[in-house]
Copies of this chain bind each other. A is one copy, B any other.
Amino acid sequence: MTKETLLKLTYGMYIVASRKGDRFNGLIINTATQVTARPPTVAVCISRDCLTHGYIEESGVLSISMLKKDTPLRFIGNWGWKSGRDVDKFKDARFKIGQTGAPIVLDNAFAYLELKVTDRLTMGTHTIFVGEVVAGETFEDAEPLTYSYYRDIKGGRSSKYAPTYDGWGERSGEGKDAERLA
């Protein structure tokens, strides 16, 4: 029952975005945690297969947009289940450029943080990027979208690039998209 137990850990849902020259990309993650208070640093965990991983490695900056509880599943599908290699996810997005130069997605976000990467730990399929928090803003006192709400109430699944991917049979079309990108 270890797989089921792993899903009992509590997470939020975020868009991490970065840039490579003039190109922007971003993806959905559920693993963003503060690491130290002085200086304030935050860690995110990103699949090495994802386009955004390379953007973060090259630019050394990233933004974390915190998603609101009422974020539509379709929006998560666009950011979490499609690859920036196939589509321009920023095409219809509302976003701004942060102090670090990283794009910050504003759609369905109630707050964001901006990080300059200071350290990293590569763990097989994923990298933990740790960055110093150089900026942040809360737009709205909204309830955050949690990973358990996304899964249990909205019926969402994990992409095969997520740390929490369970590798089981897919219930939705999103699963097929993920396979297509493999």
CA A5 to CA B134, docked complex, whole Å: 12
- Copies of the protein in its oligomer: 2
Q: Are B42 and A110 in contact, CB atoms less than 8 angstroms apart?
A: no
A37 touches which of B34, B137, B167 (Cβ 8 Å):
B167
Q: Are B162 and A37 in contact, CB atoms less than 8 angstroms apart?
A: yes
CA A43 to CA B34, docked complex, whole Å: 12
What is the size category of the interface that chain A forms with chain B? 35 or more
Q: Does A89 contact B (CB under 8 A)?
A: no
Q: Which residues of B contact A5 (CB under 8 A)?
A: 111-113, 136-138
Q: Are A4 and B162 in contact, CB atoms less than 8 angstroms apart?
A: no
CA A40 to CA B123, docked complex, whole Å: 11
Q: Which residues of B contact A3 (CB under 8 A)?
A: 40
Closest CB-CB distance, A105 to chain B, in whole Å?
15
Tell me the chain A residues, 129-177 only, with Cβ under 8 Å from chain B: 130, 133, 135-138, 144, 146-148, 162-167
